[in-house]
Structure 1
Amino acid sequence: MSLHSLSKTRYTTKAYDAAKRIPDETFQELLTLLRHAPSSVNSQPWHFVVAATPEARQQIAAAGMHEGYAYNEGKVLNASHVIVFCTRTSMTDEHLDAVLAQETADGRFDTEQAKAGTAASRLSYVNLHRYDQKDLQHWMEKQTYLALGTLLLAAAASGVDATPIEGCDFRALDKALGLREKGYTSVVVAALGYRAESDFNAKLPKSRLPEATVVSWL
């Protein structure tokens, strides 16, 4: 299916068939695409927690989908896999060094000068958001959402249904998963699997504002 067709047919799944599971090979491909998602200056300020068993999904639902967010509980419990998207709580020197070391190992630098230039450029952007614009956390979270967008399109291309979930008690989820002690905070959850026959949203026509409203040409 073309990307054009996928954009018109993918949708936010509201109910999952608990009996259907994403094949391991397909899910591993989705993880690979997720790990290779774009981020500003290749900062990769993210971490992904995967819940692939009923027990793990129950842990996510119990922590985050209670009280005012109970309407999302069934999506998490009945999905095949659930991914918690996490963002760093700070951009540490250790993380920046790790990114640079991986780029070096992957052969991105022909010279030490090129390596030093990349490190300096990346740090300048980090410091721009840390000190000048004072929105470093928000900037890092925006990179995490780029990864979410990559996953949603990749899932559709793989014939997998998906639901991005912001209706969640993320403070409680952070505590249950011990995220803040590890330097992360959860920002969004994605359920993945195959739609149930009862999913009302699957039968509704997709609706978007017309091109003339959202696109301007210079």
Structure 2
Amino acid sequence: MASRTIEKLQWRYATKTFDSSKILSEEKLNILKETFNLTATSYGLQPLKLVVISNSELKTKLMPLTYNQPQVRDASHVLILCVEKNINENFILEHFKRVEGQRNTPRKILEPFEKNLIASFTEKNSEEIKDWMVNQLYLTLGALLTVCAVEEIDACPMEGFEPKKYDKLIGLDKRGLESVIALPVGYRDESDFFKDLKKVRRGVDELIIEVN
């Protein structure tokens, strides 16, 4: 008998048609926000931001920038997963201030880690840092999709959009952010042909290698 978690993962799919009349409750939306906040990132730096869009007019404006895919228009909310444009010394220093403040960790313990991290990022070029941030973002996307399944929230992760145009329309460029993934969330429409299709996967026996 499959566990509840596996049953929920079987239930989820990349939703193609959302029921625009069904809206996520504040409770469900807050669960997704907390998931984004609590997901692991390298060094705990969280070089990411989550933009939550519920405005119907704005969602409609996003549709032509998403190759006319209707999910962004019809979903309850569109989550935009973004990376910071600049991760510099001040960003790292702010992180260690939070660690000190929230954990009461003495500076003499934090300082060596702080210096090493600043030195490490100083050696990286902007492309290397962006690649690293995008990797962290995909960790967060995986967590969001899993939690969506458990909470029976439908979702459709989308790379098929025009990030620069999104950034300009939403004002992300002025906030020092770059959009990477659009994630419409809400509830599937019963007319969605894809909701009843069997999942196609390579299977545990083929994908898993056990070393004893």
Task: Give the TM-score normalised by the residue count of structure 2.
Answer: 0.90
Alignment pair present for 1:119 and 2:114: yes
For residue 187 of structure 1, report the CA deviation from its aligned partner. 0.5
Superposed counterparts of 1:31-110, under 5 Å: 31-62=33-64, 64-65=65-66, 69-70=67-68, 72=69, 74-107=70-103, 109=105
Structure 1, unmatched stretches of 5+, are: none
For residue 105 of structure 1, report the CA deviation from its aligned partner. 2.0
Q: Counterpart of 1:208?
A: 201
Secondary structure (helix, strand or coil) at the match of 2:103 reads coil
Q: Counterpart of 2:148?
A: 155
- In structure 1, how many angstroms separate the alpha carbons of the residues matched to 2:202 and 2:184? 26
Structure 2, unmatched stretches of 5+, are: none
For residue 134 of structure 1, report the CA deviation from its aligned partner. 5.8
For residue 154 of structure 1, report the CA deviation from its aligned partner. 1.0
Q: Which moved more, 1:88-97 or 1:37-46?
A: 88-97
For residue 97 of structure 1, report the CA deviation from its aligned partner. 2.0
2:84/2:176 contact within 8 Å kept: yes
Superposed counterparts of 1:4-15, under 5 Å: 4-15=6-17
Secondary structure (helix, strand or coil) at the match of 1:12 reads coil
Q: How many residues align?
A: 209
* Counterpart AA for 1:28: N
Superposed counterparts of 1:177-216, under 5 Å: 177-216=170-209
1:46/1:86 contact within 8 Å kept: yes
1:174 to 164, 167, 170: 167
Secondary structure (helix, strand or coil) at the match of 2:188 reads coil
Give deviations 1:142-192, integer Å, cap 9, x for gaps: 101111111111111111111101110112112212323322111110000
For residue 89 of structure 1, report the CA deviation from its aligned partner. 1.8
Give deviations 1:56-75, integer Å, cap 9, x for gaps: 3224334x22xxx11x2x10
Cα distance 1:38–1:125, how it changes in 2: closer, same or farther (>3 A)? farther
Aligned structure 1 segments of 4 or more residues deviating by more than 6 angstroms: none
Task: Give the TM-score normalised by the residue count of structure 1.
Answer: 0.88
2:9/2:150 contact within 8 Å kept: no
* Counterpart AA for 1:37: T
- In structure 2, how many angstroms separate the alpha carbons of the residues matched to 1:188 and 1:140? 13
1:9/1:206 contact within 8 Å kept: no
